Amino acid sequence: MIMQSRGINGILNVFKPPGMTSHDVINYLRRTLKEKKAGHTGTLDPGVAGVLAVCLGKATRIIEYLEDNVKRYRAEVTFGCSTDTQDGYGQVLKISDASSLSRQEAEKALLAFKGVQQQLPPMVSAVKYKGRKLYELAREGLEVERIPRPIEIFDIKIIKHRKFGTPGPGLLFDITCSRGTYVRTICHDLGERLGYGACMSFLVRTGSGQFNLEDSLLLEEIVGLHEQGMLHSKLMPIDTALPLEEVWVSEDTFESIQHGNKVYQPGVMRQPATLRENEYVKLMSPEAGCLAVARVSVRQKERAQSPDCEGGLVFQPVKVFC
């Protein structure tokens, strides 16, 4: 028999306001919702607003499966100005006259960033160096050697252009990218390629995986829904959020799954036609929803340990929710 879970379990699509750190948002929700377990799936800089997926209760156990979600942003790059933080909040390092830069030249150079590439993390970032965050070192006036990291830009769409033919023109654009991409570094590098310098003058995260800006909730809205007892209607369930293949199991496997034991083929009602060894799947039940995340192994490796293994695949629970 499956125990009914208590408390708040699911993912909230939060609109993080500018001026708060991502951790500030988590602490605020912990206090407001009286839910000790809370975490987010992708840090946003304090000055940046936008989508922050917040996992609550048992949903904190799936954060690692959501962190690689594709991120979407709307950003503005301003040419002719370079700063030490690569955005509009830093100290100006260089001012150039970019009035000779054409819109066509700028757009072509920006669109050339699409694809897989190596990106050098900025000093003002949360990337760690010998156990310390780079921005902590930057505050002390230090600059250390950084290792470029692989990123991928899936798409860039130009939204509008601004004041070309003047010293400080700009482009507003939408960008879809992999986790760990610094959009302000894209803006900085674009300015360096063109020879005028540039910085990111605006940024909002418009999406993260399945979560979109238009569906995000203000903190005030979350408080109101919680006070009305309606917050659960806005929670994305664990099974919906998990980007894994579904394996449906029978009710007689529940107790075994609760204890973290392997599920063999006789207990499987339905599974995808093709699964790879060591692939992660979600074990599903019509009665109880998502029971666990499990790792796939092949029958041959289990035969010596269990004569009950009659064929097919074996599923080893690694994160149990029931």
Please give the structure tokens belonging to residue 195.
Answer: 């020879």
CA distances from 250 to 220, 255, 286, 289, 295 (A): 42, 11, 9, 12, 18
Length of the chain in residues, anyone? Answer: 322
Q: Which of 320, 244, 308, 233 is nearest to 276 (CA)?
A: 244
Count CB atoms within 10 A of the CB of residue 295.
Answer: 16
Q: What is the rounded CA–CA span in Å between residue 157 and residue 175?
A: 7
What amino acid positions are annotated as catalytic residues? 45
What is the token pair recorded at 88? 């509009």
User: In what side-by-side order are the strands of the sheet with 268-270?
Assistant: 268-270, 245-249, 280-285, 289-298, 313-320
- Please state, in angstroms and rounded to a whole number, the distance separating the CA atoms of residues 24 and 18: 11
- Asked whether 281 and 246 are in contact (CB, 8 A), the reply is yes
